[in-house]
Amino acid sequence: MLVIRSDQMETFRRVAEQRFKVEMLKHLARFAPRHCEVIGDRQLTSVIRRGLAGAARHGFTNRGPVQLYLEFMFLFGSGFDTDPLLPWVAAALRSGGLVDDQMARAEILYRGVLDYLAAVDGPDHAYTMTALRRLQDVLAMAPPQDASAMASKFWTIHPEKCAYIGSVGLQALIAEAVAMAPRLGLSGVRGTAVAVRLMFTLGHACFDDPLYPWVVRTLADPGLADPEARTMKLENRERAFLARVLAVPELI
């Protein structure tokens, strides 16, 4: 009788996992070709590694749900599963509760994403692109001075998104950014405003997201130890990013 040792099983598992990663590299390059081209295979490999770990935390092990999880990272950022702007995602991803089957939960998540995109992104990305143009205009203005003013500004920038997530989600994101900005070494009100805008646009985990290496590199740059210099550099790169996205919408 054939006996397969545990070390052989581990070898089979590693080979299968590596094969799946290669398949996902090819799939995501088709799913978001411009974004993948910009960040490169090394960053894309980091995205996949993070996505596999995140999917496993939520009990997603089948090919379909895992692939869906990776695709949604490109739509909402690598930390979409804990984003205060997406509380319906957490509900759909719960492993316990009424829906334990991963395929059923993936279907719930997929339908939720379709509803969200219809309400927030709009036909042919119309709502999002309009919001990004408004965001460009906001960058030329003085930053809001407090959380209430920040929230009001976002209602002006992207009313469809704010209406969908509600005031509670928006306030939670702003509170997270207010706490995060000093830890990131960003300066004062302007630094907080940069943090809020990036989290609102790219996802709340954008500061260490392999999907947005320009954010990570700026914050890790040893030549930007001064908070004001770091804040201005990040804002300038945010401005450049918005210009690129408005020219090539697929980058967001």
Query: How does pLDDT run across 1-37, given as a tens digit for each residue?
Result: 544 555 544 554 565 678 888 999 999 999 999 999 9
Query: How does pLDDT run across 196-221, given as a tens digit for each residue?
Result: 999 999 999 999 999 999 999 999 99
Q: What is the mean pLDDT of residues 27-55?
A: 94
- CB 135, CB 242: distance < 8 Å: yes
- Binning the chain into helix, strand and coil, the percentages to the nearest 5 are 80, 0, 20
Radius of gyration for the alpha carbons in the chain, expressed in angstroms and rounded: 20
More confident residue, 14 or 222: 222
User: Confidence class of residue 251 from pLDDT cuts 50, 70 and 90?
Assistant: low
Please report the pLDDT score of residue 140 as a whole number: 83
Q: Which amino acid is at 17?
A: E
User: Confidence class of residue 95 from pLDDT cuts 50, 70 and 90?
Assistant: low
Tell me what percent of the residues of the chain surpass a pLDDT of 90. Answer: 76
- CB 79, CB 203: distance < 8 Å: yes
- CB 87, CB 250: distance < 8 Å: no
- Rounded Cα distance between 28 and 141, Å, is 37
**SS3 readout for 10-30:** HHHHHHHHHHHHHHHHHHHHH
Please report the pLDDT score of residue 34 as a whole number: 92
Please report the pLDDT score of residue 175 as a whole number: 94
